[in-house]
Amino acid sequence: MFYAQGSGSRAMEDAMKDHIPLEPELAAIFERARHAAQNSYSPYSNFKVGAALRLAGGEIVTGTNVENASYGLTICAERAALVRAVAQFGPEMRVAAVAVANLNGAPSSPCGACRQVLAEFVLPDAQVVFPAADGIRVMAFSGLLPEAFGFRK
């Protein structure tokens, strides 16, 4: 579901301030993701991304992208947040909502690698909020990765 039309950071900022009927909890974690993006280490792309996870217990965990000169060793904000959540709360924690934001005014849904890694820990009905080409989008995680690879018992 789209909530804001337009592209560029100004359109997304305006949407977040005045026009998006996000649930308060989603709006709060989206703002936490934007704040985390300020700490991005992205000297090669200058693409500053932040992520925030709301865990099933209500805790909020954030992460940001950390680039590397070899590019392949770069870690995305979503995986940085997830690794931090596991380190803080253990492997039994579950993700109830995900927010991704960037400071570049560009679309940035979770990449395929992040979707697959999140699939190990996300609740099936978890909501994901992120900037899309036509504005801010909110959708269920199951819609982002409907056929996740896994060894489910």
- Which residues are tagged catalytic? 78
26 and 128 in contact (C-beta within 8 Å)?
A: no
Distance CA 142, CA 55 (A): 17
Angle, vertex CA 71, rays to CA 35 and CA 128, nearest 5? 40
* 88 residue type, one letter: Q
φ, ψ (nearest 5 deg) of residue 61 = -125, 135
The two three-digit tokens of residue 152, written as one number: 């489910």
The two three-digit tokens of residue 62, written as one number: 């954030």
φ, ψ (nearest 5 deg) of residue 29 = -75, -30
